[in-house]
């Protein structure tokens, strides 16, 4: 069992959050030994997942882009299908469900348009729950003026590079280079790196054809997941958290669930084992290893898996009715 301690993080308006976090999670050098490039497809090991969930309460966390919606060339057109929305709505009627995304909370809500979810935008820096789940937390909200200035500065700095795009995600800033010609991509990164040097209170992270600038705060998707579980009274042995995501930032959540001292959660990476170089984050030459225990190929399999999770609850209800 890993030791835990109370972890304090500055939120908005001078509020300090005290969150009990596994000590292993706090280290940037996660000591989790099991990493894989191509984890087993979740559908091939459904019986094991069923046994893990049996008699327990699932809680579901989902990334948005690349998980609920396919990765698209134009970020503002990352729409989920009506079928996916229906599956997500049904799932959230059975289990507490959270969207954890790099998008702003408002932006992802506009895409999802469901009122019964928890939304954790800006990589978990901005958490808002529905009326039935009173949770509201903005970590690093005092960075907002700096991030607004960052959007203005970098928009001007990359304006001469064809295809480079800025996206304001409230408590994170995204610099997209998916449409930038290969010979200019290094220049985009140089501009971002120079800005980070001049503004050391921000940190750069890699995503899929995007550079993210976030507050240099001890917070990420993994800590956000653990905070939500704790705040909603779900950090318990009878709860099995699921996390489905496709991006580098989701690895923090996978590590958090793997390191739970009261039982691992179920971590699932969404990516095609035959992914092309265009799907590889940053400048890596091959798919990196993941901390996820399972995989799903694409958003179509995600939709199917959400339906399986709903069926688990229905099976449990049928058993208790006898």
Residue 162, domain CATH: 3.30.70
Question: What is the structure's pLDDT at 33?
Answer: 43
Question: What is the structure's pLDDT at 264?
Answer: 85
* Contact of 99 with 126, CB cutoff 8 Å: no
Stated length of the chain: 322
Q: Do 28 and 171 share a domain, yes or no?
A: no
pLDDT at 278 over 80: no
CB neighbour list of residue 44: distance below 8 Å, 6 or more residues apart: none
Among 285, 127, 289, 108, CA closest to 221: 127
Secondary element (H or E) of residue 128: strand 126-128
Q: Do 63 and 201 share a domain, yes or no?
A: no
What's the CA gap between 12 and 141, in Å, rounded?
5
Q: Do 314 and 284 share a domain, yes or no?
A: yes
Question: What is the structure's pLDDT at 16?
Answer: 44
Q: Do 133 and 29 share a domain, yes or no?
A: yes
Question: What is the structure's pLDDT at 277?
Answer: 52
What CATH number does the domain containing 95 carry? 3.40.50.1000
Question: What is the structure's pLDDT at 263?
Answer: 84
Task: Please say if 63 is a catalytic residue.
Answer: yes
* Contact of 217 with 10, CB cutoff 8 Å: yes
Q: Do 199 and 259 share a domain, yes or no?
A: no
Which one has a higher pLDDT value, 89 or 7?
89
Residue where a domain terminates, one of 206, 237, 262:
206
Q: Do 135 and 152 share a domain, yes or no?
A: no
Q: Do 122 and 190 share a domain, yes or no?
A: no
Question: What is the structure's pLDDT at 25?
Answer: 39
Q: Do 115 and 153 share a domain, yes or no?
A: no
Q: Is residue 212 part of a domain?
A: no
Q: How confident is the model at residue 134 (pLDDT cuts 50, 70, 90)?
A: confident
What's the CA gap between 26 and 196, in Å, rounded?
23
Mean pLDDT, rounded, for 194-217: 95
| Domains of the chain: total | 2
CB neighbour list of residue 295: distance below 8 Å, 6 or more residues apart: 38, 39, 40, 41, 42, 268, 269, 270, 271, 273
Mean of the per-residue pLDDT values of the chain: 86
Q: Is residue 245 part of a domain?
A: yes
Question: What is the structure's pLDDT at 220?
Answer: 96
Residue where a domain terminates, one of 206, 227, 255:
206
Question: What is the structure's pLDDT at 280?
Answer: 53
Q: Do 238 and 305 share a domain, yes or no?
A: yes
Domain range holding 285?
4-139+218-320
What's the CA gap between 212 and 173, in Å, rounded?
6
Which pair of structure tokens corresponds to residue 88?
Answer: 């997500």
pLDDT at 29 over 70: no
Question: What is the structure's pLDDT at 288?
Answer: 78
What's the CA gap between 283 and 274, in Å, rounded?
18
Question: What is the structure's pLDDT at 34?
Answer: 54
The 10 Å CB-count burial string (b at 16+, else e) for 238-251 is ebbbbbbbbbbbbb
Mean pLDDT, rounded, for 153-174: 97
What's the CA gap between 284 and 124, in Å, rounded?
25
Q: Do 227 and 277 share a domain, yes or no?
A: yes
Q: Do 230 and 295 share a domain, yes or no?
A: yes
Q: Which of 22, 63, 126, 246 is catalytic?
A: 63
Residue where a domain terminates, one of 206, 232, 263:
206
The pLDDT tens digits of the residues spanning 283-313 come to 545 677 899 999 999 999 999 999 999 998 7
The pLDDT tens digits of the residues spanning 71-87 come to 888 888 999 999 999 99
Q: Is residue 211 part of a domain?
A: no
Q: Is residue 160 part of a domain?
A: yes
Mean pLDDT, rounded, for 270-290: 64
Secondary element (H or E) of residue 221: helix 221-231
**pTM of the complete model:** 0.84
Question: What is the structure's pLDDT at 202?
Answer: 97
CB neighbour list of residue 192: distance below 8 Å, 6 or more residues apart: 154, 175, 204, 211, 213
Q: Is residue 34 part of a domain?
A: yes
Q: Is residue 299 part of a domain?
A: yes
Which one has a higher pLDDT value, 107 or 25?
107
Which one has a higher pLDDT value, 12 or 143?
143
User: Hey, how many other C-beta atoms are within 10 angstroms of the C-beta on 55?
Assistant: 9
> What is the torsional sign of CA 65, 69, 70, 75?
negative
Q: Is residue 213 part of a domain?
A: no
Percentage above 90 pLDDT, the chain: 73
Q: Considering only 99-113, 160-174, 200-214, 271-285, which range has the smallest mean pLDDT?
A: 271-285
What's the CA gap between 289 and 286, in Å, rounded?
9
What's the CA gap between 103 and 288, in Å, rounded?
23
Q: Is residue 237 part of a domain?
A: yes
Q: Considering only 3-7, 144-148, 153-157, which range has the smallest mean pLDDT?
A: 3-7
* Contact of 65 with 108, CB cutoff 8 Å: no
Q: Do 40 and 110 share a domain, yes or no?
A: yes
Strands 40-41 and 294-296: parallel
């Amino acid at each position: 069992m890993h030791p835990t301690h109370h972890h304090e993080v500055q939120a908005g308006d001078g509020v300090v959050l005290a969150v009990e976090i596994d000590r292993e999670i706090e280290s940037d050098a996660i000591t989790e030994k099991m990493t894989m490039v191509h984890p087993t497809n979740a559908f091939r090991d459904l019986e094991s997942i069923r046994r893990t969930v049996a008699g327990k309460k699932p809680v579901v966390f989902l990334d948005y882009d690349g998980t609920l919606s396919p990765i698209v060339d134009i970020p503002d057109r990352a729409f989920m299908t009506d079928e996916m929305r229906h599956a997500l709505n049904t799932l959230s009627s059975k289990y507490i469900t959270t969207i954890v995304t790099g998008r702003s909370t408002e932006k992802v809500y506009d895409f999802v348009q469901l009122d019964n979810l928890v939304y954790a935008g800006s990589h978990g820096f901005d958490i808002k729950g529905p009326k039935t789940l009173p949770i509201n937390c903005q970590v690093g909200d005092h960075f907002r003026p700096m991030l607004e200035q960052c959007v203005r500065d970098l928009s001007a700095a990359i304006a001469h590079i064809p295809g480079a795009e800025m996206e304001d995600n409230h408590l994170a800033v995204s610099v997209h280079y998916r449409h930038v010609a290969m010979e200019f991509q290094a220049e985009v990164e140089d501009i971002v790196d120079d800005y980070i040097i001049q503004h050391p209170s921000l940190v750069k992270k890699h995503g899929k054809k995007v550079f993210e600038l976030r507050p240099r705060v001890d917070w990420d998707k993994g800590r956000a997941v653990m905070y939500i579980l704790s705040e909603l009274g779900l950090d318990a042995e009878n709860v099995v958290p699921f996390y489905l995501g496709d991006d580098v930032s989701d690895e923090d959540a996978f590590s958090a669930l793997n390191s739970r001292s009261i039982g691992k959660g179920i971590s699932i990476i969404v990516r095609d084992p035959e992914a092309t170089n265009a799907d590889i984050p940053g400048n890596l030459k091959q798919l990196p290893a993941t901390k996820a225990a399972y995989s799903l190929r694409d958003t179509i399999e995600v939709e199917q898996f959400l339906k399986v999770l709903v069926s688990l609850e229905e099976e449990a209800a049928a058993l208790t009715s006898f």
